[in-house]
Amino acid sequence: MFERVDFYAGDPILGLMVEYANDSNPNKVNLGVGVYYDENNVLPVLECVKTAEQRIADPISARPYLPMEGLPGHRKACQDLLFGKDAQVLQDKRVATIATIGGSGALKVGADFINAWFPQAKCYVSDPTWGNHISIFEGSGIEVGKYPYYDKATGTVKFDELIAFFNTLNKDDVVLLHPCCHNPTGVDLTQAQWDELLQVVQQRELIPFMDIAYQGFGEDMDSDAYAIRKAVDMGLPLFVSNSFSKNLSLYGERVGGLSVVCPTEEEAERVFGQLKFTVRRIYSSPPSHGGRVVDIVMNDEALHKQWVGEVYGMRDRIKAMRLKLKSVLETKVPGRNFDYLTTQNGMFSFTGLTPEQVERLKTEFGIYMVSNSRMCVAGLNGNNIDYVANAMAEVLK
């Protein structure tokens, strides 16, 4: 009966996690999945989250269904973080925001909404992008194309080609953009480049969909949201999906948000209603526990401040690992340029290793990174960095 069902080869990144778990090499290092581990190779529970959890646990309270759109405090947390607490667009009530099941849930609800209300739209993603962007949009019935982005030869953005490509797109085509910490390359646009790109988006009446999963890991909370706020200032309609998985270290709680910036309050109300309907027919309402943690941490002044400090602590540790790896590799592999390690932003680094070199790292050294050469820098620490640098030097010989 089910023999005609296609075999699923598994997700390339999640599959690596399983392979890593089954590897008996005592020196193994996980640089595959986009998860932040601390200096002791432990997945941290943030202090601000611990406090929130204590408040939720005492007294233990009932667990009613949440509304389709999630908790008001969760939704407000998304809005304040993305657009700025006092943003005019929020005061004008032009943003429809729902809490979602992680950033992935936000992308899915957004893609279903776009397919329903902009059925002609195609979606364009950066080449390369996080693989699930393509799966999610295609899964919603949207045709997905790629726009030029990463230049392997120079390790920078092919900006002229990118602009020329956007100039060929049609009204209402969706362009999926990474406001900061591009996944998988770590290579971001400068603010001047964002200004230029968004002008083309405006002229050609494209629909920008910004997916931000690493706010706070690039420069800082506000600079990382530059592209979002610029688009709002320009009066563009805008979709924003955000994830709290990384910056609250709440991966398994599945917390994120979807915000749609509309030209008027009246349109925002309509969109809000349709977002709720979209949720209703997929999963009805989001889970409450993670939503309550987000609400407590983000809306309590002291906890929010503590949270920002903790995110910057993670950011700074990653930056320190980048510097260290660069300096060790420079001495071990003279003549090769490793500047990319410190110019790229966020958790990921595109190392430029060939698939064969990546495979050797795995089989000979138990070091796991994605076959496209993406390394999760947040998996490095003082104990494994020399081992990784030596192994990289070895396969680069």
Please tell me whether residue 226 binds ligand PMP under the rule CB under 6 A: no
CA distances from 246 to 33, 205, 253, 282 (A): 12, 32, 11, 24
The rounded distance, in Å, linking the Cα atoms of 322 and 394 is 19
Please tell me whether residue 256 binds ligand PMP under the rule CB under 6 A: yes
330-369: string of b/e by CB count within 10 Å (b at 16+)?
Answer: bebbeeeebebbeebbbbbbbbebeeebbebbbeebbbbb
Please tell me whether residue 32 binds ligand PMP under the rule CB under 6 A: no
Catalytic residue among 108, 158, 246, 326: 246
* Smallest separation, CB 251 to ligand PMP (Å): 6
The CB density around residue 318, as the number of other CB atoms within 10 Å, is 22
Q: Name residues contacting ligand PMP, limited to 46-105 (CB under 6 A).
A: 102-104
* Smallest separation, CB 245 to ligand PMP (Å): 4
Q: β-pairing, 95-101 with 348-350?
A: unpaired
Would you say 183 or 288 has its CB closer to ligand PMP?
183
Would you say 130 or 150 has its CB closer to ligand PMP?
130
Please tell me whether residue 34 binds ligand PMP under the rule CB under 6 A: yes
Site string for ligand PMP, 155-184 (x = CB under 6 A): ----------------------------x-
* Smallest separation, CB 372 to ligand PMP (Å): 14
The rounded distance, in Å, linking the Cα atoms of 290 and 150 is 35
Would you say 102 or 379 has its CB closer to ligand PMP?
102
Instruction: Tell me if residue 96 falls in helix, strand or coil.
Output: strand
When binding is defined by CB under 6 A, the residue of 243, 278, 344, 345 that contacts ligand PMP is 243
- Contacts of 353-360 spanning 24+ positions with Cβ under 8 A: 353/392, 353/395, 353/396, 357/395, 357/396, 360/395
Query: By the 8 A CB rule, do 40 and 30 touch?
Result: no
Q: Is 194 annotated in the active site?
A: no
Q: Is 108 annotated in the active site?
A: no
The rounded distance, in Å, linking the Cα atoms of 184 and 259 is 23
Q: Is 80 annotated in the active site?
A: no
Please tell me whether residue 245 binds ligand PMP under the rule CB under 6 A: yes
* Smallest separation, CB 164 to ligand PMP (Å): 25
Please tell me whether residue 249 binds ligand PMP under the rule CB under 6 A: no
Helical residues (DSSP H) of the chain, grouped into ranges: 12-22, 47-57, 72-83, 88-91, 102-117, 131-139, 159-166, 191-203, 226-233, 265-282, 288-299, 301-332, 340-343, 355-365, 385-396
DSSP letter assigned to residue 45: P
* Smallest separation, CB 256 to ligand PMP (Å): 5
When binding is defined by CB under 6 A, the residue of 69, 173, 188, 211 that contacts ligand PMP is 211
Please tell me whether residue 247 binds ligand PMP under the rule CB under 6 A: no
* Smallest separation, CB 182 to ligand PMP (Å): 8
Q: Tokens 């932040």 identify what position?
A: 36
Would you say 102 or 366 has its CB closer to ligand PMP?
102
Catalytic residue among 130, 188, 224, 295: 130
The rounded distance, in Å, linking the Cα atoms of 353 and 329 is 13
The CB density around residue 193, as the number of other CB atoms within 10 Å, is 15
Number of residues that bind ligand PMP (CB under 6 A): 11
When binding is defined by CB under 6 A, the residue of 83, 130, 147, 368 that contacts ligand PMP is 130
State the residues that interact with ligand PMP by CB under 6 A.
34, 102-104, 130, 183, 211, 213, 243, 245, 256
Catalytic residues: 130, 211, 246
